[in-house]
Amino acid sequence: MLNKDVIIACDFSSRAQTLDFLDLFRLERKPFVKIGMELFYSEGPQIVRDIKSRGHKIFLDLKLHDIPNTVRKAMKVLSSLDVDMCNVHAAGTIEMMKAALEGLTREDGSRPLLIAVTQLTSTSEQRMREELLIGSDINSTIIHYATNTLKAGLDGVVCSPLEAAGVKGACGQGFLTVTPGIRFADSGSDDQVRITTPAKAREIGSDFIVVGRPVTAAADPVASYLRCVKEFLND
């Protein structure tokens, strides 16, 4: 699989809206798309099969976090859906991440990419300290969780593009960084705080950028997507 790409976050609530949006992309190479909890829980696994059958690669963003046995069995189901990338919370422990990897691996040894969420960007350092009782600073915690993810044998982490260099430094250049928080230099930031442009994300070392509203809410989504690809892949 191409290990550098732009992933469109399809944050729509219905099948009809999602497929209408994807119908716009009459391109030779269909975009890699991210399906999140809202769409998956409202439409069920069939939405994954439908989008896959149209030729898209899929990052199924369900962020699993449960006991290892449950995660192993759930991952087996996701693997049979033939998604290309899925994820867990690193907070579930190394044992849970290893179980996820086992569940995901098919009989022929193939499997989707598996990445972990370190600390959600919505969790502030203050909340981490006061509510989660994690005493380290947030950057050390992110690097520590990324190192645990590497130890468990996963492929990489979701992180802010601004954290990608630190993660690569600790876990190696081959460890994937999947980074949301992408905005064009000439557009607004919406509710995202720590943002970078597609070109800057490439420079910092992101492997996959996840782009939502700059594409989904654009007047011309296909043109915006192609601009992202051009800036990020430099082609």
Catalytic residue numbers, as ranges: 63
Residue 36 CB, nearest distance to ligand C5P (Å)? 5
Q: Which of 15, 36, 184, 199 binds ligand C5P (CB under 6 A)?
A: 36
| 156: phi then psi, degrees, rounded to nearest 5 | 170, -165
Window 59 to 118, contacts with ligand C5P (CB under 6 A): none
Q: Which of 92, 112, 156, 180 binds ligand C5P (CB under 6 A)?
A: 180
| Number of residues binding to ligand C5P, judged by CB under 6 A | 15
11 vs 171, beta carbon nearer ligand C5P? 11
Is there binding between residue 31 and ligand C5P (CB under 6 A)?
A: no
20 vs 190, beta carbon nearer ligand C5P? 190
The single-letter code of the amino acid at 104 is L
**SS3 of residue 9 by DSSP:** strand
Window 196 to 215, contacts with ligand C5P (CB under 6 A): 210-214
CB 135 within 8 A of CB 106: no
Interface pattern 111-140 for ligand C5P (x via CB under 6 A): ---------xx-------------------
**Residues contacting 108, CB < 8 A, separation 6+:** none
92 vs 181, beta carbon nearer ligand C5P? 181
**What percent helix, strand, coil does the chain show, rounded to 5?**
45, 15, 40
Distance between CA atoms of residues 235 and 231, nearest Å: 7
Question: If we measure between CA atoms, which residue out of 233, 223, 225 comes closest to residue 31?
Answer: 225
Under DSSP, the state recorded for 182 is: B
**SS3 of residue 14 by DSSP:** coil
The owner of tokens 């597609």 is 198
110 vs 188, beta carbon nearer ligand C5P? 188
Residue 122 CB, nearest distance to ligand C5P (Å)? 7
156 vs 214, beta carbon nearer ligand C5P? 214
- State the Cα torsion 235-57-102-145 to the nearest 10°: 50
Q: Using CB under 6 A as the criterion, which residues of the chain lie in contact with ligand C5P when the complex forms?
A: 9, 11, 36, 120-121, 158, 180-181, 190, 192, 210-214
